[in-house]
Chains A and B, each alone.
Chain A
Amino acid sequence: MYPAHIESYYRPTTVAEALAAITRQPEGDSMFLAGGQSLMQAIKSRMVRPTSIVDLQSVAELRGIDQANGLRIGAMTRYVEIAEYEQFPAAYAALRDAAERVGDRQVRNRGTIGGSVCWNYVASCLPSVVLALNGTMSLASADGSIRDVKAKDFIIAPLETARREDEILLCVSWPKPPPKTGSAYKKWGLVTDALPVVGMCVSISLDDLGKCRTAQVAVAGLADGAQIADAGGAALIGSAGDEASISAAMNDVADSVETHSDHWADASYREQLIKRLGVEVTLRAFARARR
């Protein structure tokens, strides 16, 4: 209920200070605190016991959405800012679909995209979205170096990412999208806006004839966390956006991923949700791509 003892708290104002602070602690675990909407749960339940916290709330350079050169979303950008951002190109609209349905208003006022993808909870929306949209994660180290990691290499397993504990996620970014590209995300949970029992994110681009040229499908809510479903991406290629071909592709997705049973849904229902939500979001992605 209450956090275990915490030795120190830092609130840096720059990335450099943040990285210096995280490496300052020789003993124990030093952790970055972003929005805290997941991490604080873990800290309060004492499943996580940092001895030092580096609070990123005041690092201005980590915050904001910028389309000067493609799309760049600072790691400390909150869900509410993504949900209310109206200039997303159709290609990246899934980000908004997901952000406006994360948790609740209070969580969206506080929780961040960077926190979400770095925490990479087993049932979580944003990791699947960055996977389907093939985002690039920029990680900075104390030595001043920055490395870019593609989402598929960044998202490793539930609660595990390619980020080292002494690295900071600067932003998630995308290039300027090709024309006729669209994406969409939707999840299902037992109560409205709950963590995804299944979440589906689809990103597609169309050729001049309106047929699917490239596609990427990601599934949230699996026992192994968010996953790319290659089968679905491959099967969508060539689709004209008709329900039959999309439905066939989503059947492939359901067949290709391993679904599990838990209190909320059994494996077969998860498959059905993958198909149902998959068709719905793919149709929406097509519609957005055509605009």
Chain B
Amino acid sequence: MELAEEIRINATRDIVFAALNNVEILKQAIPGCEALEATSATEFTATVVSKIGPLKARFTGNVTLVDVIAPQSYTMVGEGKGGPAGFAKMRTFVHLTDEGESTLLRYEVKADIGGKLAQLGGALISSTSKKLAGIFFGNFEALLNGERAIERSSE
């Protein structure tokens, strides 16, 4: 599953990029994030509860930032194990461009799921990825603007 979107954020590129590396902001922005801890500047452990209606899966795993070109782009690579439900892998490329005082944030997400999730939830991955990515960047934008995250999870 792949998707690409652009959002405009009312902040400079430096601020946006810093926020993209800020554990607290990421933690609040990631839908269903129960824990996010940095183990190095570019490595995190994470626990995320993903909920689609009545379907719920708790993923534990790692997030790594690679190909970091400050303050322009990075790729966030995550893999989480959902126990018996299977696993999910996500690779998000984020690219920032100046647009006057604001920043154009372009993201490209590639998500893979495996195990029972892929077998039973394959038909849902497209709508779910789109939704989760939308919530994440929506939250991210809101947090940057000093607001509370609009949506803490997909509930």
A and B touch in the complex (CB under 8 A): yes
**Taking beta carbons and an 8 Å cutoff, which residues of A are in contact with B?**
29, 31, 39, 42, 45-49, 119-120, 122-123, 157-161, 223-225, 260, 262
Q: Within the complex, what minimum Cβ distance (angstroms) separates A43 from chain B?
A: 10
Q: Is the CB of B55 within 8 A of A48?
A: yes
B-side residues, CB < 8 A to A, are 52-57, 84-85, 116, 120-124, 126-128, 130-131
Question: What's the nearest-Cβ distance from chain A to residue B124, in Å?
Answer: 5
Residues of B within 8 A of A160 (CB): 52-53
Which residue on chain B has the smallest CB distance to residue A39?
A: B54
Q: Are B116 and A159 in contact (CB under 8 A)?
A: no
26 A–B contacts from the bound complex (CB under 8 Å): A29-B54, A29-B56, A31-B54, A39-B54, A42-B54, A47-B55, A47-B116, A48-B55, A49-B56, A119-B53, A120-B53, A122-B124, A122-B127, A123-B123, A157-B127, A157-B131, A158-B52, A158-B123, A158-B124, A158-B127, A159-B53, A159-B54, A224-B126, A224-B130, A262-B122, A262-B123
CB B55 to nearest CB in A, in angstroms, measures 5
Contact: B123 with A122, CB < 8 Å?
yes
Choose from B54, B120, B127 the contact partner of A223 (Cβ within 8 Å): B127
CB distance from A4 to the nearest CB of B (A): 10
Q: A47-B85, A47-B116, A157-B131 are in contact. Are A42 and B55 (CB under 8 A)?
A: yes
A50's nearest neighbour on chain B, judged by CB, is B54
Q: Which of A46, A123, A160, A225 has the most CB of B within 10 A?
A: A160
Contact residues in B for A224 (Cβ distance below 8 Å): 126-127, 130
Chain A residues whose C-beta falls within 8 Å of the C-beta of B52 in the assembled complex: 158-160
A123 to B126, CA, bound (A): 13
Which residues of the partner chain B approach A158 to less than 8 Å between Cβ atoms? 52-53, 123-124, 127-128
Closest residue on chain B to residue A31 by CB atoms: B54
Query: A residues within 8 A CB of B124?
Result: 122, 158-159
Contact at B127–A46, with CB atoms within 8 Å?
no
Contact among A29, A45, A260, A262 for B116, CB-based, below 8 A? A45
Among A39, A119, A223, A260, residue most surrounded by chain B Cβ atoms (within 10 Å): A223
- Determine whether the beta carbon of B53 is less than 8 Å from that of A45: no
Considering residues A29, A31, A39, A46, which has the most beta carbons from chain B within 10 angstroms of its beta carbon? A46
User: For B123, what are the chain A residues with a Cβ–Cβ distance below 8 Å?
Assistant: 122-123, 158, 223, 262
